[in-house]
Structure 1
């Protein structure tokens, strides 16, 4: 499960970097956001025993929805953030990308594949 999430987040980062490059001269900015683990009502239909354990973990270890929204709000309204367009943000701060996420050829390949999948090429 984590491997699938990691790959989807990598694709999100690569796509955002490509989109930033394509929109750079337009004044439109792009950011990849990681809100963190957020406590939601995802446990409301679970079996009581497991639900109680997970609810305990959610309460102590996860962010509230309001806390989880802060990075999105930050990137939408912060002053002088434009120079960081294309960056990854978590907890309202820039996160250094791993080498794979900085690979321009991988980003171009993902963009090309995306165009093919939605028939825009």
Structure 2
């Protein structure tokens, strides 16, 4: 019995899809995060509302440095009130408790530090 390439692909597709990691919810990594400047965060998923937090860079499970609040998405603006040079990761938690993370971002120096810690 000969199977065509299309038939083999159709048979294997469920196995391949089962191994694909879920990216729901997801939060995009902002390009530039500058101290005391607004940063647009974009995110999404299938189970809103979402809780957006900032954690120490790359430390999934760490206590948040700041929780930005709850949103149904798809975006919010945050004024970067964390000291320049700090490495952070943006975390998203959906209504089902699932987590997603951005890549690590380093807060860049701005022209003002008046907002830091506020």
Q: Please classify the TM superposition score into its range, dividing by the shorter chain length.
A: under 0.3
**Higher fraction of helix:** 1
Normalising to structure 1: TM-score of the pair?
A: 0.22
Normalising to structure 2: TM-score of the pair?
A: 0.22
Larger radius of gyration: 2
